[in-house]
Amino acid sequence: MHELGVVFHMVDLLEDVGREQGLTRVSEVVVDLGEVSGVVTELFEDAWEWASNRHDLLRGARLRVNCIEAVTVCNSCGKTYPTVAHGRICPHCASPDTELLRGNELNIREIEAC
């Protein structure tokens, strides 16, 4: 399960931050999750539940997932469009020369300590 690996990585990161800042308990973690990051929100939340309860620092911490809509820009006409609806082909000019602007991220945005 891909999501579990992602969560383990996140837990490591949070423990580093917790150590650096001398936190004993985290109450909430806010994560920016891109629409096309490949992470399924529900599985991610389940994995978080499982993993966070195995670490004193994170036990009972709430996970808030902030979904980031995926946007692609077309290099031919310069317009942007929603990635999920149209994929790699520009709906304005039908060019395949497009680039993902955002929607691929998975970042920890905020950590709230008790």
Chain residues in the site for Zn ion (CB under 5 A): 74, 76-77, 90, 92-93, 95
Crossing angle between the packed helical segments 41-52 and 2-21, to the nearest 10 degrees = 50
Q: How far is the CB of 81 from Zn ion (least distance, A)?
A: 8
Closer to Zn ion by Cβ: residue 36 or 73: 73
Q: How far is the CB of 71 from Zn ion (least distance, A)?
A: 13
Q: How far is the CB of 5 from Zn ion (least distance, A)?
A: 36
Closer to Zn ion by Cβ: residue 52 or 72: 72
Closer to Zn ion by Cβ: residue 67 or 84: 84
Q: How far is the CB of 101 from Zn ion (least distance, A)?
A: 13
Closer to Zn ion by Cβ: residue 66 or 76: 76
Long-range contacts (CB closer than 8 Å, 24 or more residues apart) made by 100-103: 100/36, 100/70, 100/71, 100/72, 101/71, 101/72, 101/73, 102/34, 102/68, 102/69, 102/70, 102/71, 103/34, 103/35, 103/36, 103/37, 103/68, 103/69, 103/70, 103/71
